[in-house]
C-alpha cells in the first residue's frame, strides 16, 4: 500500500485552510464567490420544520377512526394555539361532553380517518450557519452553503469534545510537559482558549468552566477524568455535540502526554491572537480531527488577489517517510516519543508480537535507537 503509515496531524504556522459551511437541509445562501467574510457573518440560513406532535384522537376520545370528522373541529392547514379545543365529543343528548386540546402552538398537518390520529406541527425554527473563520468565499454550493478559504496557523488535535468556539489564545503552561493545577486557571483566562500543558484533569476542566474559559488545549487526558467531567463514557469516537460550555482539544493522546515542542512553540507564538476552534472528532469514514485555526489578517487579505486554487491543486502528498523525517511513535512500547527516522528496511521483519510487518528504525530524542512498525508512527507535519 502506498501509505502504510499514519499521515499525521497538521501543525503549521502558515497554511491555507478550506472550510465547507453547509446547511443540513436546503435553504438560502447569502455570499457570492469572492466575498470576504468574518467569523460571525451568517453565510446560509434555512428553516428547520417544526416538531410534529401526534394526538391519537381515536384512542383519547374512544371513537372509531372513521368517526373523526364528527368530533374534530379543525382541518389540515388551520393554525391552532396550545390549549385550543381541537376535538369535541358530545353524547347522551349533550349531557356528556369530552374535549381534546392542542398540546402545541402550530398548524394542523393531517387528520387521519384510518389510524385515528391528528398531526400538528409547531412553527419552524430558523437555523443560521456562520462563516466560523475569516476568509474568502471560494465556492457557493447552491441552496446548501459555501466553501471558505482562510490562511494562517492551523493545528490539528487528536481528540476533542465540544463544538465551534472563538477566542483569544493564552498559554498558561511554561513548558510542553508541565502539568498545571486547577488554581493556575484564573479570571484572566475568561473568554479565552487556554493551553494548559501535558494533562487536562477533571478538576482543571471544571475550574475552567467556572471561570468562563471557552477552550482548553492539552497534551493528554486520563480516561476517567473525561468520564467524570462528561458524566458518561464515550464508546465510539464521534464527538462535537456534547452539551458543555467549553471545547477541549487533546493534541497527543490518552494519559499524561508531553506536547510536541513544535505545537507548544506555535501556541506561544500565537498567544494573544484570536482563533476559531472545534473539538468535533470522527475517526471513521470521513475522518475529522479537532482543529485550531488562527487566521493571519495579512495572509487572508492576500487571498483576495490570489487565484482560486481548488480545481488546480493536487492533494498535497504527505511527502512520505524518508531518512531524517521527524516522527512521533503512537503505540506502546515507546508511545508518545518523538524521533527521527534513521532507516527504512524494505523487507518485512518480525516484531515482538511475532507479526511480520514493515518497520523503520528511528533515533529517539535521548539518542536511543529503536525499531518500530511503520503503522505505529506518524509524521510530524507542518
Let me know: does 299 contact 152? Beta carbons within 8 Å.
yes
Asked if 253 is part of the footprint of another protein (rule: CB under 8 A), the reply reads: yes
Asked if 284 is part of the footprint of another protein (rule: CB under 8 A), the reply reads: yes
CA distance 7 to 10: 9
Asked if 202 is part of the footprint of another protein (rule: CB under 8 A), the reply reads: no
233 vs 347, which CB is nearer to another protein? Answer: 233
Let me know: does 158 contact 289? Beta carbons within 8 Å.
yes
57 vs 133, which CB is nearer to another protein? Answer: 57
Interacting residue with another protein among 376, 379, 380, 381 (CB under 8 A): 376
Interacting residue with another protein among 332, 346, 347, 367 (CB under 8 A): 332
3 vs 97, which CB is nearer to another protein? Answer: 3
CA distance 294 to 167: 10
Name residues whose C-beta falls within 8 Å of residue 2's C-beta, 6 or more positions apart in sequence: none
CB of 278 to another protein, least distance (A): 16
Interacting residue with another protein among 12, 13, 56, 202 (CB under 8 A): 56
CB of 189 to another protein, least distance (A): 26
Asked if 8 is part of the footprint of another protein (rule: CB under 8 A), the reply reads: no
Q: How far from 34 is each of 135, 137, 146, 150, 249, CA to CA, in Å?
A: 10, 5, 11, 12, 32
Among positions 136-165, residues that touch another protein (CB under 8 A) are 143-144, 158-159
Count of residues making up the chain: 382
The secondary structure element, H or E, covering residue 99 is: strand 96-101
Q: How far from 9 is each of 110, 155, 340, 349, CA to CA, in Å?
A: 51, 8, 16, 27
Asked if 95 is part of the footprint of another protein (rule: CB under 8 A), the reply reads: no
Asked if 121 is part of the footprint of another protein (rule: CB under 8 A), the reply reads: yes
Q: How many residues bind another protein (CB under 8 A)?
A: 63
CA distance 190 to 211: 6
Q: How far from 267 is each of 128, 194, 302, CA to CA, in Å?
A: 31, 10, 23
189 vs 359, which CB is nearer to another protein? Answer: 359
**Which residues would be at the binding site for another protein (CB under 8 A)?**
1-3, 6, 23-26, 49, 51-54, 56, 65, 109-110, 112, 114-117, 119, 121, 143-144, 158-159, 222-224, 233-237, 253-255, 281, 283-287, 315, 330-333, 335, 351-357, 372-373, 375-376, 378
Amino acid at each position: 500500500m502506498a501509505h502504510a503509515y499514519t499521515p499525521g496531524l497538521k501543525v503549521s504556522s502558515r497554511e491555507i485552510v478550506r472550510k465547507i459551511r453547509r446547511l443540513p437541509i436546503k435553504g438560502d445562501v447569502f455570499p457570492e464567490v469572492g466575498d470576504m467574510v468574518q467569523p460571525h457573518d451568517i453565510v446560509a440560513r434555512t428553516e428547520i420544520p417544526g416538531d410534529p406532535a401526534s394526538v391519537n384522537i381515536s384512542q383519547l376520545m374512544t371513537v372509531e377512526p372513521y368517526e373523526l370528522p364528527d368530533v374534530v373541529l379543525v382541518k389540515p392547514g388551520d393554525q391552532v394555539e396550545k390549549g385550543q379545543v381541537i376535538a369535541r365529543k358530545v353524547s347522551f343528548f349533550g349531557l356528556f361532553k369530552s374535549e381534546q386540546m392542542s398540546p402545541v402552538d402550530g398548524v394542523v398537518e393531517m387528520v387521519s380517518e384510518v389510524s385515528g390520529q391528528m398531526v400538528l406541527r409547531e412553527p419552524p425554527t430558523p437555523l443560521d450557519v456562520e462563516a466560523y473563520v475569516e476568509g474568502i468565499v471560494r465556492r457557493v454550493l447552491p441552496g446548501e452553503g459555501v466553501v471558505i478559504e482562510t490562511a494562517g496557523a492551523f493545528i490539528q488535535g487528536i481528540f476533542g469534545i465540544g463544538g465551534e468556539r472563538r477566542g483569544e489564545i493564552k498559554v498558561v503552561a511554561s513548558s510542553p510537559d508541565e502539568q498545571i493545577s486547577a488554581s493556575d486557571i484564573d479570571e484572566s483566562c475568561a473568554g479565552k482558549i487556554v493551553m494548559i500543558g501535558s494533562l487536562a484533569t477533571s478538576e482543571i476542566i471544571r475550574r475552567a468552566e467556572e471561570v468562563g474559559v471557552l477552550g482548553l488545549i492539552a497534551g493528554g487526558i486520563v480516561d476517567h477524568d473525561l468520564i467524570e467531567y462528561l458524566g458518561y463514557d464515550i464508546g465510539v469516537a464521534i464527538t462535537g455535540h456534547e452539551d458543555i460550555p467549553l471545547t477541549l482539544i487533546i493534541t497527543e493522546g490518552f494519559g499524561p502526554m508531553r506536547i510536541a515542542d513544535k505545537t507548544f512553540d506555535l501556541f506561544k507564538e500565537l498567544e494573544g491572537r484570536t482563533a476559531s476552534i472545534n473539538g468535533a472528532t470522527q475517526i471513521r469514514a470521513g475522518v475529522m480531527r479537532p482543529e485550531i485555526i488562527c487566521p493571519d489578517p495579512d495572509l487572508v487579505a492576500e487571498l483576495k488577489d490570489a487565484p482560486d486554487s481548488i480545481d488546480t491543486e493536487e492533494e498535497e502528498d504527505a511527502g512520505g517517510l524518508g531518512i531524517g523525517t521527524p516522527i512521533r511513535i503512537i503505540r506502546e512500547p515507546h508511545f508518545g516519543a518523538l524521533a527521527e527516522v534513521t532507516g527504512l528496511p524494505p523487507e518485512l521483519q518480525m516484531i515482538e508480537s511475532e507479526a511480520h510487518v514493515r518497520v523503520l528504525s528511528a533515533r529517539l530524542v535521548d539518542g536511543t535507537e529503536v525499531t518500530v512498525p511503520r503503522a505505529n508512527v506518524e509524521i510530524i507535519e507542518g
